[in-house]
Amino acid sequence: MNDRVILAHGGGGELTKRLIAEHIMPRLGNEVLNPLTDGALLDAPTNRLCFTTDAYVVQPLEFPGGNIGHLAVAGTVNDLAVMGATPKWLSLALVLEEGLEFAVLDRILDAIAATARDAGVVIATGDTKVIEARGPAGMTLTTAGVGVLRPGTNLDACRIKPGDFIIVNGAIAEHGLAVMSAREGLAFQTQLQSDVAPLNGLIAAMLDTGADIKFFRDATRGGLAGLVADLAEETGLTVELRENDIPLTPAARHIAELLGLDPLTVANEGKCVAVVAARDAEKILAACRNHPLGRAAAVIGQITPGRPLAELITRAGGRRIIQRPYGEELPRIC
Amino acid sequence: MNDRVILAHGGGGELTKRLIAEHIMPRLGNEVLNPLTDGALLDAPTNRLCFTTDAYVVQPLEFPGGNIGHLAVAGTVNDLAVMGATPKWLSLALVLEEGLEFAVLDRILDAIAATARDAGVVIATGDTKVIEARGPAGMTLTTAGVGVLRPGTNLDACRIKPGDFIIVNGAIAEHGLAVMSAREGLAFQTQLQSDVAPLNGLIAAMLDTGADIKFFRDATRGGLAGLVADLAEETGLTVELRENDIPLTPAARHIAELLGLDPLTVANEGKCVAVVAARDAEKILAACRNHPLGRAAAVIGQITPGRPLAELITRAGGRRIIQRPYGEELPRIC
């Protein structure tokens, strides 16, 4: 059983040291993390910072297009990026279940290292605990992130007004559908992959245009539906989406139908929504399409005067209210 | 079943909003957290920062002297404080198991709020997930913390040299023994309580003396034994402790004997070790004894030349090597 995690790996003794020395540091080591002190020392270029955290509980741990490690880095990086911050440092807390294979752990640590490299962030500090297995051996990861606010950024939902355009950087619903396909044994039927990706580079490219961007948010749990319902509530305005213009691949539409899910409510992990002044929409679209993660970017709707609700103009030309999902059809999706 | 958490509370929809609005924000709300944006904006007074994280998996969630909420704040605050930082902001990620009673959740959130107030830190950002119950409904908490480095602090284990004194702020082993007593149904036999407490005030009082303090560390997992074994390794010197001088209450000694545990290896959550220049030891002890969390502070040993190992001078006058625990006799202790 030398190829699996045991409870004693979490005890803070000799075995914990070996777990860290043999599995974690070879993959995640860097100048900031290497001292392995109680906290990491950061030298921020400014004192205007952004701070965020997310716990990741996805099941299965590995799914088409990624694993929980990609998610734990990209999700937290994206939360900083949509706030107008340049992500700089992440913390990483591992809660491993006894019996987890080291081969799986190492693949996930490799994904964390690779995604951090892609996003240009440093894993600065961490913690490891081991708990008893209570089902298929799994893990939960929690990352917190610290970023530096970009000077001159003026993201403020209060500035949104009727006529502003709503832009998404590509096809929706792929993360949630890929995870569900894996869970339901449908993965072999489809090429569908999670869209998990760090969006900080794309968002920086959009901000670098100097366009008047008023709002960013990543469409994770609750999907695009949850995002626009929140947006309507926060602005007190109507958010109008056009179903015809929302990018959705035929594969995703097919799987959503098979699973009985509304793609609007399905989680994404590499999609963000921007609200921009109408005159700047073309500029933003051009910046997106120049970036690998924004090739399929589209204007999908606009802000209109009226009651604070989100509406969908359907393919058939009808109108329906977009509601925030009540609970969640898809537990442990991220 | 309205009094329990269900999976849909974690879905990112309407029920998640209610969980946050009805249980979390009334207890933890503050100016930084209230916007509930993807990240919190921090205005650090300087750009020299310290960043840390810990996951808390203690079972049971509530134990004599505290609960997982006290632990999740105090533990992370203490990691910042021993680095010479003033703790300022915490993130809080909740992973709740379906079936958890709201009454338990609320007590734990109350403990988080109270401990954060005591420590003078702000819960700046957070996340909530719900997973299926797989045993008695529980939770894990992960906090990350950002603190501001105190100017002029020169904590560096490289500065430690033979003759330096080792000080602890009070009686050891109480956290681990209190949790184990609760787990083994021994709690009724003893008054023993966890020592969980934020130590930043005490540590600041010690630093404020201007004494030459070279090293701080809190003695959590692995206990005092793990700490001094690490210290010997890091300094390349012998760390000599005197068993007679190590504060240990009769109740703790009794329970440790009953459970067959060496108190040196048992986790603490409100004890830190300082290494100081011998000439300043009295000054430090005086500062400790003036603080409610340092009344029983004592010099427990010294650094001596010799091989890099930790030794105990026993009550009987013998010598034994103090080893880092291999795994852990006590899983899920913090």
pLDDT in tens, B305-334: 999 999 999 999 999 999 988 776 667 889
For residues A62 and A178, is the Cβ–Cβ distance under 8 A? no
Q: Is A48 an 8 Å CB contact of chain B?
A: yes
pLDDT at A175: 97
For residues B216 and B272, is the Cβ–Cβ distance under 8 A? yes
Asked which of A14-18, A60-64, B94-98, B194-198 is least confident by mean pLDDT, the reply is A14-18
pLDDT at B273: 98
What average pLDDT does range A308-331 have in this prediction? 89
Q: A326–B14: do the CB atoms touch at under 8 Å?
A: yes
Which residues in chain B are closer than 8 Å to A124, comparing Cβ atoms?
Answer: 51
**Has residue B62 been placed in a domain?**
yes
CA distance A198 to A76: 9
Q: Token pair of A120, please?
A: 């240009």
Q: Token pair of A166, please?
A: 């709503």
Q: B99: domain CATH number?
A: 3.30.1330.10
Same domain? For A175 and A134 the reply is: no
Same domain? For B266 and B184 the reply is: yes
pTM score:
0.94
Q: Is A52 an 8 Å CB contact of chain B?
A: yes
Same domain? For B117 and B187 the reply is: no
> What part of A 245-264 touches B (C-beta under 8 Å)?
none
Same domain? For B119 and B186 the reply is: no
Question: What are the CA-CA distances from residue B181 to residues B65, B147, B177 (Å)?
Answer: 12, 34, 6
Same domain? For B83 and B192 the reply is: no
CA distance A327 to A312: 21
What average pLDDT does range B58-78 have in this prediction? 96
**Has residue A78 been placed in a domain?**
yes
User: Given a cut of 80, is residue B236 above it in pLDDT?
Assistant: yes
Residues 6+ apart with CB under 8 A from B223: B172, B173, B176, B263, B264, B265, B266, B267, B268, B325
Q: A15–B326: do the CB atoms touch at under 8 Å?
A: yes
What average pLDDT does range A32-46 have in this prediction? 87
User: Given a cut of 60, is residue B93 above it in pLDDT?
Assistant: yes
Q: Token pair of A297, please?
A: 């970017």
What average pLDDT does range A55-60 have in this prediction? 94
Same domain? For A201 and A306 the reply is: yes
Asked which of A80-84, A148-152, A293-297, A302-306 is least confident by mean pLDDT, the reply is A148-152
Among all chains, which residue has been given the structure tokens 């098979």?
A: A258
Q: What is the pLDDT of residues A105-118, one digit of tens each?
A: 999 999 999 999 99
Residues 6+ apart with CB under 8 A from A262: A225, A256
**Has residue B122 been placed in a domain?**
yes
Same domain? For A101 and A221 the reply is: no
**Has residue B86 been placed in a domain?**
yes
Q: Pick the last residue of a domain from A149, A166, A198.
A: A149
Number of domains forming the structure of chain B? 2
**Has residue B326 been placed in a domain?**
no
What DSSP element (H or E) covers A240?
strand A238-242
Q: Is B200 an 8 Å CB contact of chain A?
A: no
Q: What is the pLDDT of residues B147-202, one digit of tens each?
A: 999 998 889 999 999 999 999 999 999 999 999 999 888 766 678 999 999 999 99
Q: B16–A135: do the CB atoms touch at under 8 Å?
A: no
Count of C-beta atoms within a 10 Å radius of residue A282: 13
User: Given a cut of 60, is residue B1 above it in pLDDT?
Assistant: no
Same domain? For B169 and B242 the reply is: yes
pLDDT at A188: 65
Chain A: closest CA distance from residue B326 (Å): 5
pLDDT at B327: 72
Q: What is the pLDDT of residues A187-208, one digit of tens each?
A: 666 789 999 999 999 999 999 9
CA distance A129 to B143: 13
Same domain? For A168 and A124 the reply is: no
**Has residue B279 been placed in a domain?**
yes
Same domain? For A132 and A250 the reply is: no
Interface test with B, best of A51, A134, A265 (most B CBs within 10 A): A51
pLDDT at B328: 61
pLDDT at A120: 96
Identity of the highest mean pLDDT range in A126-140, A274-288, B28-42, B45-59: A274-288
Q: What is the pLDDT of residues A231-257, one digit of tens each?
A: 999 999 999 999 999 999 999 999 999
User: Given a cut of 60, is residue B108 above it in pLDDT?
Assistant: yes
Same domain? For B12 and B121 the reply is: yes
Interface test with A, best of B31, B58, B91 (most A CBs within 10 A): B91
For CA atoms B237, B240, B246, B252, the dihedral sign is positive
Which is higher by pLDDT, B72 or B1?
Answer: B72
Which is higher by pLDDT, B10 or B84?
Answer: B84
User: Given a cut of 80, is residue A168 above it in pLDDT?
Assistant: yes
Q: B327–A15: do the CB atoms touch at under 8 Å?
A: yes
**Number of residues that make up chain B:** 334
For residues A244 and A165, is the Cβ–Cβ distance under 8 A? no
HSE toward the beta carbon, residue A199, CA cutoff 13 A: 33
Q: Pick the last residue of a domain from B115, B149, B183.
A: B149
Q: B129–A79: do the CB atoms touch at under 8 Å?
A: no
Q: What is the CA radius of gyration of chain B?
A: 21
Helices B68-82 and B102-119: angle between axes, nearest 10 degrees: 30
**Has residue A225 been placed in a domain?**
yes
User: Given a cut of 90, is residue A15 above it in pLDDT?
Assistant: no
Residues 6+ apart with CB under 8 A from A227: A217, A219, A273
Q: B209: domain CATH number?
A: 3.90.650.10
Q: Pick the last residue of a domain from A116, A149, A182.
A: A149
Domain that includes residue A271, residue range: 157-322
Which residues in chain A are closer than 8 Å to B327, comparing Cβ atoms?
Answer: 6-9, 11, 13-15
**Has residue B1 been placed in a domain?**
no
CA distance B170 to B272: 8
HSE toward the beta carbon, residue B148, CA cutoff 13 A: 14
Same domain? For A219 and A72 the reply is: no
Closest chain B CA to residue A155: B37
3-state secondary structure of B299: strand
Q: B221–A16: do the CB atoms touch at under 8 Å?
A: yes
Among all chains, which residue has been given the structure tokens 């045991």?
A: A6
